[in-house]
Amino acid sequence: MFELKIDPKPGSNCKDDAERIIQAIRSGRDKKLLSILDKALKDKKRLHIEKRFVDARHGKAKVIFRFDFLTEDEELKRHTALISDTMPYLGKKFIALADRPVIVGFGPAGIFAALILARYGLRPVIIERGSAMAQRIRDVDSFRSGSSMINPENNIQFGEGGAGTFSDGKLYTGLSSGIKGFVADVFVRHGADKSILYDSHPHIGTDRLRDVIVSIREEIIKLGGEIFFDTRLTSIEQTDGKITGITVENNSVSRQIRCSNVILAVGNSSRDTFRHLYSSDIRMESKPFAVGVRIEHKRRDIDMSQYGMDTADTSDLSAANYKLVVETSNGRKLYTFCMCPGGEVINGISGDGQCVVNGMSLFARDNENSNSALLVPVDSNDFGDGVLAGLEYQEQLEHRAYEATGDCRKIPVTKYKDLKGGMTGSFDYIKPSVKPGYKTCAFDGIFDSNVLNTIDEGIRLMGKKIKGFDNPDSVLSAVESRSSSPVRIVREKDTRESVSLKGLYPAGEGAGYAGGIMSSAIDGINCANSLAFSLIKM
């Protein structure tokens, strides 16, 4: 394995990292590495980048690459190992069932569960309440341009690709699962940039992710899977603790589907589904989650403070990242989450009467602002006991934010200096990026004083870690409330089946077992493998 440090150069416009590395070796002083490169290329070996990360410890960023040269055979061997580690039941014979496995929800967990079952030859049936990509994009664009109201079945949360579709497409996770490589490989084979295979902060970009998802859907269908869009699960039927079928609704017409195995991957915004599960005595529990705001700074200011240079001037570095956590004097934590360098704040509601924000970015990450969520963890001390207490707290918070503007198309915003009330006036230095609109409001009518004080003091403390983070003109928007699920659908540790209903496999973020695209995809794969294992012919 070789290592190379590159000083990002203003004006650099290499088309990709392989070209960047080769150029740096050819123009560098390391003669030994140059002869290794020449020999490798002569032997028809390919440059294989293992890792790329940025070292910005000394105020001036350097990009570090670890790489090797591999033959085609060596590359193939690695890929075969990736597939067999992720799909251990390939080649096994499965029991012939009278019904096909069903997957509810076509977000990252549902997509990857479906892909695995389809590759096993188990021909899954997929139910998704929102529309297929093209129609979903039309509805979301129409809401974002201000020309229509929110469509409660087709929005930033619901529709093909799930909540991840209009996201940043960041793929980092704290999970150390070998399956991560498989998920990234699937994304690349379906059109994502190769850098997600080795970057320490892999990022697809919402613009590219959309086509990637459609391409994965086409593979699932080619393998015998079937997808019903605009079709919502309304109930799960059971006899003697086992699933016997589900009822779905399309265009106000209900029908039943007979089935005995369901992977339930409905995400964290499907409150009607959670309420149905609860009233059907499916074991659930409330879980801690987090609430807060989005903060926006000028991308250039964050770049300068993190990297000592404006990343707009070079293709060697993309907009700067950060990750911060502080503890405030009331003993609470404030942490940054889902940082979107060069991105925009997005109105993420899934129904009227709510105000919810999130963040996204395009592959280029070259917008004027950088943003991130600032979150305060909340638990039963904040929302009380009861399985749905957290969900109700989340709903009330989103509704208070809505009442502050009186219009779900207008997100409450303020400058940091006016967080607790004051005159925000016009946004001259940092302009709010959220569409279709916003209204300046004091946030003391939205958050309770304890959470608000944590945000206020926490930003000041973060300003000690990143210069300018506590700029009084930083723009805050509310509320960031859906970073994880307020409930967990309790499942067996080994089989991943619901503890109260046989044949039900709760998966992904909504079920309370993942947070983010990568971990949801991995959980979907794990559930698909558990289901497949139960169907192996002994």
Ligand X SMILES: Cc1cc2nc3c(=O)[nH]c(=O)nc-3n(C[C@H](O)[C@H](O)[C@H](O)COP(=O)(O)OP(=O)(O)OC[C@H]3O[C@@H](n4cnc5c(N)ncnc54)[C@H](O)[C@@H]3O)c2cc1C
Residues that bind ligand X (CB under 6 A): 104-110, 127-130, 156-159, 162-164, 166-170, 232-233, 265-267, 270, 273, 338, 346, 348, 358-360, 508-510, 514-518, 520
Q: 103: which strand partners?
A: 126, 263
Residue whose CB is less far from ligand X, 103 or 122 = 103
Please list, in sequence order, all residues whose beta carbon lies within 8 angstroms of the beta carbon of residue 50, skipping any fewer than 6 positions away.
1, 66, 67, 68, 198
**Closer Cβ to ligand X, 160 or 456, answer by number:** 160
Closest CA to 110 of 319, 320, 337, 264: 264
Cβ atoms 62, 46 nearer than 8 A: no
Q: How would you label 414-432 residue by residue, b for 16+ Cβ within 10 Å and e otherwise?
A: bbbebbeeeebeebeebeb
Name the residue with tokens 């590395």: 21
- Please report, for residues 309, 311, 342, 429, 512, the alpha-carbon distance to residue 303 in angstroms, rounded to integers and kept in the order given: 6, 6, 10, 16, 34
Closest to ligand X by CB, 24 or 163 = 163
State the nearest-atom distance from the C-beta of 317 to ligand X, in Å: 19
Contact yes or no for 475/413 (Cβ under 8 A)? yes
From the CB of 499, what's the least distance to ligand X, in Å? 20
Q: How far is the CB of 276 from ligand X (least distance, A)?
A: 8
Residue 286 vs 485, nearer CB to ligand X: 485
Q: How far is the CB of 330 from ligand X (least distance, A)?
A: 28
Q: How far is the CB of 156 from ligand X (least distance, A)?
A: 5
Q: Which is nearer to ligand X, 347 or 453 (CB)?
A: 347
Q: How far is the CB of 450 from ligand X (least distance, A)?
A: 26
In the DSSP assignment, the letter for residue 199 is: B
Tokens of 538: 């002994």
Instruction: Between 19 and 281, name the residue whose CB sits nearer to ligand X.
Output: 281
Note whether 503 and 164 are within 8 A (CB). Answer: no
Which CB, 219 or 249, lies closer to ligand X? 249
**How near is the Cβ of 32 to ligand X at its closest, in Å?**
40
Q: How far is the CB of 169 from ligand X (least distance, A)?
A: 5
Specify the residue, 273 or 369, whose C-beta has the smaller distance to ligand X.
Answer: 273
Q: Which of 9, 185, 8 is nearest to 80 (CA)?
A: 185
Q: How far apart are CA 415 and CA 295, in angstroms?
A: 9
